[in-house]
Amino acid sequence: MLGYSSMIGEDLLGTSSHSFEVELDGQEHTVRIDSTQNISNFAFSPPKKSITFKTIEGKLPIGIANTMVNLGKLLTGPYSVTIDGKQLDNFVTISDTINNGTVLELTHASGIHTFVISNQ
């Protein structure tokens, strides 16, 4: 995934990759989350067209964390991202031209947080 796929990158940045299979309108989709934090409580809500997940302690010391969410073609922009119920505006939207999907790069404080990503 965009800059984080090599073993060297994973070792240096302390990232872990998590893949989740979801279904929408009869089609299977994979949501991949690469993060310097551990990921838990992943959920997809088809009616709301939103994903929710929690970050918990990671491999790096306390400070800034990085989470890359590969949405594929599951959700279409523009996107709304909240962290602990507060709007996160400083995320980066990246076009995945290989798979014709979207990746969101979220930079946030490390620790326990709940994220919600949805269509606006």
CATH number assigned to the domain comprising residue 15? 2.60.220
**Count of positions (residues) in the chain:** 120
Residue 62, in any domain of the structure? yes
Q: Does residue 105 lie in a domain region?
A: yes
Structure confidence at residue 12 as a pLDDT band (50, 70, 90): very low
| Residue percentage of the chain with pLDDT more than 90 | 52
The tens digit of pLDDT for each residue in 66-113 reads: 899 999 889 988 999 999 999 998 899 999 888 788 999 998 888 899
Q: Quick check: is 1 in a domain? A: no
Give the residue among 88, 72, 95 at the shortest CA–CA distance from 120: 88
Is residue 105 helix, strand or coil?
A: strand
Q: Domain of residue 45: give its range.
A: 7-119
d(CA 95, CA 98): 9
Structure confidence by residue, pLDDT tens digits, 28-40: 999 999 998 889 9
- For the chain, how many structural domains are there in total? 1
> Coil, strand or helix: which one is 50?
strand
Tell which wins on pLDDT, 61 or 66: 66
Burial class (CB in 10 A: 0-12, 13-18, 19+), 68: buried
